[in-house]
Structure 1
Amino acid sequence: MKTILKLSFLLGIATLVACGGNDKKEEDNIDVEKNPMGALMKMGENMQKQAEKMEKQQAERKDAKAMHYEELMKYLPESVKGYEKEEPKGESVEMSGMSFSSANVRFTKGNDDINVNLLDYNAAMSMYSMATAMWASGFKIDNSEETAQSVSIADNINGWETLQKKSKDASLILGVNDRFLVTIEGNNQKNTDLFKEIAKSMDLKKLTGL
């Protein structure tokens, strides 16, 4: 909680500094606890770049629609070793000037479960931008409650992994080609290795070409 408050307090300053134009590259995964100002400066810089990129892509995808949920469901994982698969679900939403779709599936093993959710933000770029603003900043958080950091598993597939140290709840969120968002969450996990295996079992590389 202290980390979040610290980031919120400094965000405005960092954004103003970033707008001044700083071409110096910083190392990946800046430790927020040790260098909050450096982390916020990089976040502000990347938010500006991301906003410009999204504005351009929004213009290019002006008449685009999100993939229908039935098609999106084909990209969900077929199985997870040791877990039972439940029936996949999905939905597509259209409104004035915006559309998005989601598909999800749940895997269970006794009291343990893993949820996989795939969203297509093709015609809702502003929503995607808000969800992914922090990842490109290379954040790293490590305290008594959690570990969290930016992660990349392939070209155009980057995101954020989190492990709650006491509850063993974990999550992996991946952005694919500035359009799709993959969220994998589960309990009783020592790390996010299983989630990365699940992500790699999905045909995400095909999605990067869409």
Structure 2
Amino acid sequence: MKKLAFFLLGGVLLTSACEQAQKTKETYDNLAKLKDAGENIEQTLDAAKAQREEREKRGDTLSLPYKELQGYLPAEISGFTAGNPEGQSTKMGGFAFSTASREFTKDSVTVKTELMDYNGAHDMYQGAAAMFALGMESENDEELVKSTSLGIEGASGMENFHKKDGRAELTLTLGGRFLVKVEADKQKDLALVESVAKQIALEKLAKL
């Protein structure tokens, strides 16, 4: 009986030790991830600052006019009807930024493309870039979230797929100044928003 109790106790202690070891490993893993995330944020912000300083040397400190910004959006999406492009250039206090957007429809599906230039509002850009540099990844029964760069050097962003209603979203920061967003409803995955985003002149924008 004593031997049985000893073995049972040993088993409990071993299980407890394994659980503690696993928790310790998870803690170290999480700390490592936080360290990596912090380094990614620092690298992203440093790159954005360097790009900003380079533009200042060229005298390029203003956001593009919204009409010019519209030219970087897709003119068409296969099978969809294009709406009229919209946009606005805004000055507010010490900030200045421009936005451009265009919607596309097919039956009951709507795709919206947006492009924002924060060259005259660098602090606003840095906030978004820092958030996306965290590289957040998560999934549950309602939503899938994953980081993305779409293969563009220096870009960082996030994709969201809302499983309940089929909303797909992709947001990307690049070039130290631009924020790109593509949304689509009634989707089964993120394929459409990814393909539409790739129709935007991302590499050209990243080099401005």
Q: Which interval holds the TM-score relative to the shorter structure?
A: 0.7 to 0.9
CA distance change for structure 1 residues 205 and 100 in 2, over 3 Å: closer, same or farther?
same
Q: 2-side partners of 1:36 and 1:146: how far apart?
A: 22
- Match of residue 184, structure 1, among 179, 182, 185: 182
In structure 2, distance between residues paired with 1:159 and 1:188: 22
Find the residue that maps to 2:149 and give its secondary structure.
strand
Q: 2:138·2:146 contact (CA, 8 Å) conserved in 1?
A: yes
SS at match of 1:139: coil
CA distance in 2, matches of 1:157, 1:84: 29
Q: CA RMSD in A?
A: 2.1
Q: 1:53 to 1:157 in 2, by over 3 A?
A: closer
Q: Larger helix proportion, structure 1 or 2?
A: 2
- TM-score, normalised to structure 1, is 0.74
CA shift digits 1:154-201 (9 cap, x unpaired) = 223331111011111110111121211110011111111111211222
Pairing 1:1-210 to 2, within 5 Å after superposition:
38-62=32-56, 64-153=61-150, 154-210=152-208
1:29-75: CA deviation from partner (whole Å, max 9, x where unpaired): xxxxxx76554443333333444444444445456000000000001
- SS of 2:68's equivalent in the other structure is helix
Contact 1:150 1:159 in 2 (8 A): yes
Unaligned runs of 5+ in 2: 1-28
Q: Which moved more, 1:200-209 or 1:43-52?
A: 43-52
* Alpha-carbon distance in structure 2 between the residues aligned to 1:55 and 1:79: 34
3-state SS, counterpart of residue 37 of structure 2: helix
Q: Give the gaps of 5 or more residues in structure 1.
A: 1-34
- Higher-Rg structure is 2
